[in-house]
Amino acid sequence: MKRKLISLMLVGAMAASMVACGGSDATSSNGSTDGAAEGAAADVQSDDENTLTVYAWDENFNIPALQAAEKDYQDVNPDFKLEIITQSQSSDVESAITLAAEAGDYSTLPDIVLFQDHYFQQYVTNYPDAWQDANDANCDWDGLGAEKLSYSTVDGKHFGFPVDAGTAIFAYRTDLLEQCGYTIDDVTGITWEEFDKIGKEVWEKTGKYLLCMDGDGNDLFYMMLQEEGVSQFKDGKPYITENKELVQVFNTLVTLAQDNVLYLANDWSDYTDQAIQGDMVAGVFNGNWIIPTIKKVDSNKGNWAITTAPTLTGKEGYASNGGSSLYITANCSKTDLAKDFLAYTFGGRSAEDGQSTTYDDALLNGGVIGTCAAAANSDVYQQGVEYFNDQAIYADIVEYTQHVPTVEQSDYHYQARTALATALINVLQNGYTPEQALEEAETNLKFEMGL
């Protein structure tokens, strides 16, 4: 009962966390639309030996990537078909796994599911029989990014194939930097202390913040710690008050906010619509999926560039935030086909052969930036992007991916995010000292984890 309760709570938390993951009701690849519950139970398998079924969400992002992979694999298997059963959001997939596992009946699952990275290991722990490992798949795992694969590797076995890289970018308005006498090179490979100095000048001369984040869903803690190779958890427990780097990051964010360098938005809409698109900021640090939000302001075309993030020590910082992978379920009877399809496409085997359309078309049609190092060599990835002053940002992001440190993950990632975001607000608005705020955050997180 405890396992079931935890899983259902995770599904609820997942739904709450996916603010930006809208979508339609469950839809099959033939275009018909059903209710989410009905669609989840109907036509999850095909009798055709060359057809695989998959649950996924987001018709503007993940679905075009899957369609690109189907087209790519048909070059080596012309009879292959991928039936995509579109879910409204990622939590629908988690719900399907939970319900099937608790019923002890995996026949309600498709061959493959798209699963958000931060949640997979908990579902392997709770429901080990729901999955088939892909350890013997014919692909170069080393070329897919060690940090990305850390989410989908359990007890030394590979289970997942990366779809999108959550690799973080630091995007700057170069025209505003230039007004203050700085270039993109001046904000590359610097400390947060140096960043604060530049940010104060930007604020004084332009009235813009050099950094922004959703104050409720504050991902800065995770990304800034990952750059240092440190986690919010240690040996499965919260690692906050005794975490030297976390304390430094916390105090840094307090300073940045007090110096009008960091704008903490009230919520996600304030972050995207007012801060980024409302011309309040000169810098954005987040997963690369934030790029479409930045690009919505057409008048700023050519005035943005991306680079790595500042760090506590001044080395170039690499981090990741978000992303999903594809997994083979226990219900898949065509396991060899599933492994070969996923290895050839998202596993990058066709990219290594120099003829991949998976990564190129996924980027062109859905804005999906993959993790495969070989993909960055294509003309599509190497081309300059006009909005970013013709910088080849996609190739740069794939390069960043290869350097993101692997840190300890936890199924309480989002609870930790909430606890630290609250702690920061308590210092800035409610009179707490940093020590009091972090101690309360750690106490509350331990309580949620039952420690």
Q: What is the pLDDT of residues 336-387, one digit of tens each?
A: 999 999 999 999 888 776 667 899 999 999 889 988 888 778 889 999 999 9
CB distance 237 to 410 below 8 Å: no
Would the pLDDT of 34 be above 70? no
Q: Which helix (H) or strand (E) holds 53?
A: strand 51-57
Would the pLDDT of 18 be above 90? no
What confidence tens digit (pLDDT) does each residue in 179-232 have? 999 999 999 999 999 999 999 999 999 999 999 999 998 999 999 999 999 999
Per-residue pLDDT, 323: 87
Tokens of 428: 């800035």
Relative orientation angle of helices 90-103 and 117-126, to the nearest 10 degrees: 0
Domains, the chain, in order of start with CATH, read 2-166+322-377 (3.40.190.10), 168-319+407-448 (3.40.190.10)
Comparing 3 with 223, the larger pLDDT belongs to 223
One-letter amino acid for residue 382 of the chain: Q
Would the pLDDT of 5 be above 50? no
Query: Which candidate, 425, 411, 415, places its Cα nearest to that of 445?
Result: 415
Residue labelled with tokens 């996600």:
268
Per-residue pLDDT, 90: 87
Per-residue pLDDT, 21: 38
Share of the chain above pLDDT 90, in %: 73
What confidence tens digit (pLDDT) does each residue in 102-136 have? 999 999 999 999 998 888 988 998 999 999 999 99
What confidence tens digit (pLDDT) does each residue in 385-430 have? 999 999 999 999 999 998 999 999 888 898 999 999 999 999 999 9
Would the pLDDT of 30 be above 70? no
E strands, 101-181, where? Answer: 112-116, 131-132, 153-154, 157-158, 160-162, 168-173
Q: Which residues lie closer than 8 Å to 155 by C-beta, 6 or more apart?
A: none
Tokens of 132: 């088939």
Per-residue pLDDT, 231: 97
Would the pLDDT of 69 be above 90? yes
One-letter amino acid for residue 145 of the chain: G
With bands split at pLDDT 50, 70 and 90, how would you rate the model's confidence at 170? Answer: very high
243: left (phi over 0), alpha (psi -120 to 50) or beta: beta
Would the pLDDT of 15 be above 70? no
Per-residue pLDDT, 165: 86
One-letter amino acid for residue 282 of the chain: A
* Alpha-carbon span 127 to 322, nearest angstrom: 23
